[in-house]
Chain A
Amino acid sequence: MTAELINWILGGLSIGSALMVVFSKHPIRSVLYLIVTFFLVSGLYIMMNAQFLAIVNIIVYAGAIMVLFLFVLMLLNLNKATEPKTPLLVMLSSVGAAGIFVLVLIAALKDSFIQKSGQVAGNLNAGMVENLGELLFKKYIVPFEISSILFIASMVGAVLLAKREKPIID
């Protein structure tokens, strides 16, 4: 029962902080709330016995990507609430659409057919590092190596894009 309670608390908090990401005025706050969300989600991962991903999530997302966001924000000094106000109509229709969307999603998935017998043959320790390492370096070794090419490509792309060139004159 305790575990279920923790799950509920973590879930509720993550929804709350996710909402704060969307509705904070200052981008810095959005980033910080997003980091909080990632921590909460990582907590959920731990609750699901997926320790490896929990750690990776924190290190890569919260530690690297979010720091990158923060870095860019501060570099460009964007922490002013310069964003124009969203028109009320857009706001209303967006919230309405999102509300309907979540309702439809939940309604559709609530009773969806889930194979109940799957967990019988399953491995309790599927999310452990040892198990994932086996999978990653045997079955998924080729995609793993290819992802390094993706990184190089994105690195080159980022450098090329961000390099200061002659100012473009319109």
Chain B
Amino acid sequence: MTIDSIVLILIALPLIGALVNGTIGKKLPNIVVGTIATSVMLASFICAVLVFSQFQKTQLIHLFSLLKLDGFQLNARFQIDALSIWMTMIVTGIGTLIHLFSMGYMSHDKGYYKFFTYLNLFIFAMLLLVLGSNYFVLFFGWEGVGICSYLLIGFHFSDLEKGISNSIAARKAFIMNRIGDAGLLFGLFLILAQFGTLEYLDLARLTGPGHGVAQTMLIGITLCLFLAATGKSAQIPLFTWLPDAMAGPTPVSALIHAATMVTAGIYLVVRSNFLFELAPFTKDIILYIGLATSLVAAFIALRQNDIKKVLAYSTVSQLGLMFVALGMGAYTVAIFHVTTHAFFKALLFLGSGSVIHAMSDEQDIRKMGGLAKKLPITHATFLIGTLAISGFPLLSGFYSKDEILGHALAANPLLYGILMVSVAMTSIYMFRMYFLVFFGSFRGGEKAASHLHESPLIMTLPLMILAILSVFGGILNLPGLFLHSGAHWLNDFLSANTAGLNLLLAEHLAASTTLILMFVASAMTLLILIWAYINYAKKQKLALADEELHGWQLWSNKKLYIDELYALVFVKPIEFIGTLFYSNFDIKVLAKGVYSFAQLFSKLGGVTRKWQNGVLSSYLFWMLIGLISLISYYFIKLQVWNF
């Protein structure tokens, strides 16, 4: 088979799975539904690996043209290059594992078939997003993942206790994403107006040396695209939806809100690198926003007590790190971190899912503790995930973070210092959570304690696979310190033939600097590990009840009051204006106008209604009158006026 057909199969499979489960899934037994959904994902992943192994150079697969105008066309076309195939592998690979996990996790859920339909549909949309050869297909997938995210966050909308808050969380995510989508749309319009095409390759050529595009235009385009990225990838100012999105089932949080969809913003920027390279101003903004997000989110995560909330803010913080890398122009490094982050964050989320499953849907870490003995596999894999995200030496997160830190040091020592703070906070909250959940004594009461159980193999297997990936993921992009060949494999692979990236020179740090960096980072992580062990595992410094918090802890616990700030600045005024218009314009003018108009016709109808009296002969009488008039009219017309 040619690459073309494999790629098409790869994209079509999740759609087929979604269609099958969406139409007849309700009648099938759960095991069949789950198997269908998981096996199409596995097949899709195998296809992706096949494409990866066969692929040589950038390749376009043209399906059809949606719209052809003079000199401009919208194509349903896919582009196979290093970046897209790499993202495809991440999406399908992690997707397969999470489908597998969901088969166990969702086993008691009534909407089993619906869940897998949405998941498959999400994967389809995500594949469109990463494989499209132009911004139009990307936009299509972008909206597709948005709607799937909405559906899955509000998946338990009919839940008795939390149904309403789930729906509100889903709505919040949807609306916040809409703001970003508006940015994307405007970006696309600007690109169309300036270049007249949406194809990446054409755009890369048009923005080559001597392009002659105005700087303001480029800044406008890139800022719009970056707004879209902040929406999807939860950056300041649009990041508050992601923690709320944890209302969805945990596999969803792992797949969509940690590993894949939220990295769409990163992908967008990397894909448009040729545009961003021409707009240094936007790159600076990306850098600062990423830095601020990373710090703020890490700070908030310090005193969160919901196991998923901690991970959610951690995700936001890590995404911030990636944007810092993008802001420095280290696109491949960002993708490297996307990859390792997908491994360990999916692992952590699935691990937390396993914990929640064991705790009978309890998510508060204050009620956990001492779970290490009861959940050995979950504990071991969770530990690996925690170490990986904290940058423990030789695990995957260590390499990807150090790459970012190294670039930061090369750019500006101050930047490096601030990033180190963020990284340190990451380690602190992760170890705090880890020790509170798995060490000490159980705090959830007798009833919950009797329910504790290790998850079945179908759930622990993905955990183990992800744990292995989290440990060895760093091999993908080893620093060129001790090696002479094989280093920076991912960097070289990505930049080899991705449009734009192949023009940038890969930046490699000096060996001695790398060594110092690694040493500092490792030392810091180890110190924090010991500190956290003493504080949270030995002394059992319990997270305090909400009322006892004060000072910075309160601010952290209350998420810096950002939701409240948004409510005050945006929601309240809009509500006020809305109420004003509703009570004045809507009720007094519109409703009244429409109502009186309807009244008019009702009265008119009352007049003609008398004609419908039910007496047959009167109907015939009027019919006769009508016939007489008609015939007379034509007769007179013919006889008198003669035409």
Contacts and interface: CB of A to CB of B under 8 A. Distances in A.
A98 interface: yes
A101 interface: yes
Interface in A64-102: 90, 93-94, 97-98, 100-101
A105 B635 CA distance: 9
B635 A108 contact: yes
A58 B201 CA distance: 87
Interface in B598-632: 617, 621, 624-625, 627-628, 631-632
Q: Report the interface size class on chain B.
A: 10 to 19
Contacts of A104: 628, 631-632, 635
A107 interface: yes
A97 B632 CA distance: 13
A105 B621 contact: no
Contacts of B628: 97, 100-101, 104
B635 A107 contact: yes
Nearest to B618: A90
Interface residues of A, number: 12
B621 A108 contact: no
Name the residue in A97, A98, A100, A105 with the highest tally of chain B Cβ atoms < 10 Å from its Cβ: A97
- Say what secondary structure dominates the interface of chain B: helix
Nearest to A100: B628
B31 to A, nearest CB: 50
A105 B279 CA distance: 86
A94 B617 contact: yes
Nearest to A107: B635
A38 to B, nearest CB: 23
B621 A97 contact: yes
B634 interface: yes
Interface string B89-121: 000000000000000000000000000000000
Contacts of A101: 624, 627-628
A23 to B, nearest CB: 15
Contacts of A97: 621, 624-625, 628
B631 A108 contact: yes
A94 B621 contact: yes
Nearest to B627: A101
A98 B617 CA distance: 12
A93 B617 CA distance: 11
B260 to A, nearest CB: 62
B631 A90 contact: no
Given A97-B624, A97-B625, A98-B624, A105 B617 contact: no
Contacts of B627: 101
Interface in A99-131: 100-101, 104-105, 107-108, 111
A108 B625 contact: no
Contacts of B634: 108
Interface string B298-322: 0000000000000000000000000
B625 A90 contact: no
A111 B635 CA distance: 10
Contacts of A100: 628
A17 B354 CA distance: 96
Contacts of A108: 631-632, 634-635
Among all A-B residue pairs, the 10 with the closest Cβ atoms: A108-B635, A97-B624, A104-B631, A108-B631, A104-B628, A101-B628, A104-B632, A101-B624, A100-B628, A97-B621
18 contacts: A90-B617, A93-B621, A94-B617, A94-B621, A97-B621, A97-B624, A97-B625, A97-B628, A98-B624, A100-B628, A101-B624, A104-B628, A104-B631, A104-B635, A105-B631, A108-B632, A108-B634, A111-B639
Given A104-B628, A111-B639, 19 more contacts: A90-B617, A93-B621, A94-B621, A97-B621, A97-B624, A98-B624, A100-B628, A101-B624, A101-B627, A101-B628, A104-B631, A104-B632, A104-B635, A105-B631, A107-B635, A108-B631, A108-B632, A108-B634, A108-B635
